[in-house]
A = this chain, B = another copy of it.
Amino acid sequence: MDQVNVRWYVEDVAAHSSPIVIAGLPGVGHVGKLVVDHLVHVLSAVKVAEITSTLFPPQMYLSEDAVLRMPRNEVFFAPGSENSPAVLLLAGDCQSTTPEGHYILGNAYIRIFELLGVKRIYTLGGYGVGRMVETPRILAALSSSSLKEEVLFAGAVLNKDEPVGGIIGAAGLLITLGRLVGMEGIALLGETSGYLVDPVSSTAVLDVLEKLTGIKADRTELAELASQMMTEVSAIASTMQKNNADDLRYIG
């Protein structure tokens, strides 16, 4: 097993003209991962490549019948239609265990995308703000200011001071590493508390992504997840208020 291993599942993807990439790896609130996992499902995308790496955690996952598998990231392909582009989806379990590994893995993903004729990358993620957000803004970051107009038109916010401290991990690196080989890139980060998996923020990211790409994805399941989460959060919030009230009685 090498430091980065790519196993190819399909031979002829390169024949398709310039698929876009949508990448959503685990991160803050799993905002990007939720969207991309959802797209793999609703677009019935097929697996093109699987990446395993000694830079991933040495933590084996259980699947059906408790069959073990390595941590892996996967590239899926959906061919697109008249109004919707061909899409490569980068989804998976994990990011690197070391700072240097982020660069090494980022380069590996970009090399795969190059082979598949990619010209544009969207990366999706969350931006933790430390408080509950009802109507999350979508912050964008770009490979070039020439992308400014379309991103603003799609409803995202451009602000060089947010996220404070920039973007850590694959969502940022894929944009800068892609630019080195001539790819356009747009990172979309949904505001989220940072404490919980956040389908509400994911839905808001998907809204912007659809406007940008023309993809139309049934979102029933994501909406259900989001509504379920809002109910849970309300329940938590009311419990907390009650507890605070109790606390006051106790102190009083």
Binding-face segment, A63-71, A128-136, A220-228? A63-71
Q: Which residues of B are found within 8 Å of A142, using beta-carbon distances?
A: 65-68
Asked if A161 is an interface residue, CB under 8 A from chain B, the answer is yes
CA distance A169 to B59 in the complex (A): 6
Q: Which residues of B are found within 8 Å of A66, using beta-carbon distances?
A: 139-142, 158-160
Binding-face segment, A13-21, A98-106, A197-205? A98-106
Q: Copy number in this complex?
A: 4
Binding-face segment, A22-30, A175-183, A208-216? A175-183
Asked if A143 is an interface residue, CB under 8 A from chain B, the answer is yes
Asked if A252 is an interface residue, CB under 8 A from chain B, the answer is no
Q: Is the CB of A177 within 8 A of B102?
A: no
Nearest-Cβ distance from residue A75 to partner chain B, whole angstroms: 20
Q: Is the CB of B59 within 8 A of A172?
A: yes
Give the nearest-CB partner of A55 in chain B.
B100
Nearest-Cβ distance from residue A168 to partner chain B, whole angstroms: 5
Q: Which residues of B are found within 8 Å of A169, using beta-carbon distances?
A: 58
Asked if A238 is an interface residue, CB under 8 A from chain B, the answer is no
Given A62-B161, A65-B142, A141-B62; A99-B97 close (CB under 8 Å): yes
7 contacts between A and B (CB under 8 A): A60-B168, A62-B141, A62-B167, A65-B145, A65-B160, A66-B139, A67-B144
